[in-house]
Structure 1
């Protein structure tokens, strides 16, 4: 009977594994041999070269949603792998929304005047380190849903987040534009709701300020219920002309895939990370689809 000789490298690895198991059982520790250190370093280097991706989602919550409904919708969106979610129209209690999130997540919902916390951001603390968060006043005069009357001030929630593994930093903003804003027949503003149109222009200006005021190393990312159907946004007076065009933002272009087409994840193009793909989640308790955009390192 003949035996195939065992390569020395394989034999060393086997001995190292056996030694590690013995040390674990005895509760003692000792420096690893040079070959083991080399193999460990090689594995670490290989892991660091793996492509790093992260997901960002936007989800509009229907008024009066309870914890079971929010848990269902958030769970559906989380299946797409986001580590940041921008919510809009949070019109129920803070406690209910916090109870709907996984334990490892934190909810960024600044306190302040009415409307300050309508568009909170949720973050997976295992993925991102929070550097700063605040509420940004986007317009002091705006609309009231369905009636067009003046309502309370409108705020966006801003979060500066640093990725724990890569150090990549984003400035994420969650916001909501006025209703009845878009004339889908002409592709331009609905001038019958002139108050809402002007409010949108003021909000767009403030969004541009938030982007242009960020350090160059911060990638700007917006999450919104924009109330403008993307594939019918045909003039320079709505989202394309006032926000995504001037700021050179790419979006999920949700209008091309059916659904409402008004929920956006938008991100600065001039960044090592670009939107690689997106998924739209329907069949939710809320009346909007959830959008998850996956970002991939491209340079």
Structure 2
């Protein structure tokens, strides 16, 4: 029999070391790193699929917010995994909102008449590639506010984004529906604000067009302050009957967690990705929760 000498043992250790270096150079590891293990535990079954998930947020900004407040709130929803954020009621300067975003993010705020910059979209350029963006007029005749003055025309910002890893394309739109729209007692429209209700109908028709006009391979995703409480929306005249129902959209409130509210992330059901879960961030400077909905690959 061959005896195992110290020389043979040293040679075996050297061979194992060389093999490990070769495997590392080829991008292969025998044992996952701690960071990989944490990511797999966090991502579940989708972790094995490159780009198997992404998260979208909606965040209504309070009028008069300064950079520190916006930065705090944005960091909360981005920390929740969001790589796309739809804002509503920006009502402050463009430079301030840009300054509130991380360096890898870009802000889509088309120039135009008053109102085109109320509902901008921001996204992480490391995650998404911009294919196209524009502002869509949702209604030219809108509702009267408490002051009795006619509000300006209402626009939604639209962005076509391609995921850099999995190639999935979304047509995202951020918009804001009229205030005092919902009669919570009846579950239907608040006809005391008839102008607002009719404006919502016009806006819903335009949103349906934006969704139906998208390419079949592009998933329609919407972020909104819809001003309608989800679990009391019981007729065909509001959000469920005019937007989510006809377009077959799922929302953060029909994900794995139940809930109710007026801030929605919506996603087209007939897509490779669907809303798997969501988180609601309430300890914010603004007066609305930030909603982060996570889309997971379904097929």
Structure 1 length normalisation: TM-score?
Answer: 0.85
Distance 1:58 1:13, change over 3 A: farther
The whole-number CA distance in structure 2 between the counterparts of 1:12 and 1:138 is 68
Maintained 8 Å contact 2:115/2:152: yes
Paired position in structure 2 for 1:68:
68
Give a deviation string over 1:140-193, Cα, whole Å, max 9, x none: 011243246422110000000000000000000000000000000000000010
Q: How many residues align?
A: 277
* Structure 1 segments (4+ residues) deviating >6 Å: 1-6, 8-11
Aligned pairs for 1:44-83 within 5 A: 49-50=49-50, 52-83=52-83
Q: Is the 8 A contact 2:91 2:118 kept in 1?
A: yes
User: What is the 5 A alignment of 1:166-245?
Assistant: 166-245=166-245
In structure 2, the CA distance between the partners of 1:203 and 1:3, relative to structure 1 (3 Å rule), is farther
How does 1:28-43 map onto structure 2 within 5 Å? 36=26, 39=28
Match for 2:18 among 15, 18, 27? Answer: 15
Task: Call closer, same or farther: CA 1:175–1:13 in 2, change over 3 Å.
Answer: farther
Q: Which residue of 2 aligns with 1:24?
A: none
Contact 1:148–1:196 (CA<8 Å) still a contact in 2?
Answer: no
Question: Which blocks of at least 5 consecutive residues in structure 1 are unaligned?
Answer: 22-31
Select which of 249, 256, 259 maps to 1:257: 259
**2:130, 2:160 within 8 Å by CA — same for their partners in 1?**
yes
Residue 257 of structure 1: how far off its partner (Å): 3.3
What is the aligned partner in structure 1 of residue 39 from structure 2?
Answer: none
Residues 126-145 of structure 1 aligned to structure 2 (within 5 Å): 126-145=126-145
Work out whether residues 148 and 193 of structure 1, in 8 Å CA contact, stay in contact via their aligned partners in 2.
Answer: no
Do the aligned residues in 1 keep the contact of 2:155 with 2:175 (CA within 8 Å)?
A: yes
Distance 2:287 2:274 in 1: 28
Contact 2:58–2:264 (CA<8 Å) still a contact in 1? Answer: yes
Give the match for residue 296 of structure 2: 296
Partner of 2:35: none
* DSSP 3-state at the match of 1:83: strand
Question: Cα distance 1:9–1:102, how it changes in 2: closer, same or farther (>3 A)?
Answer: farther
C-alpha distance 126-12 of structure 1, shift in aligned 2 (>3 A): farther
In the aligned structure 1, how far is the partner of 2:203 from the partner of 2:12?
Answer: 64
Q: What's the TM-score once normalised by structure 2's chain length? A: 0.85
Conserved 8 A contact 2:86-2:119 = yes
Give the superposition deviation at 1:80. 0.6
**Structure 2: gaps spanning 5 or more residues:** 33-46
CA distance in 1 between partners of 2:246 and 2:139 (Å) = 19
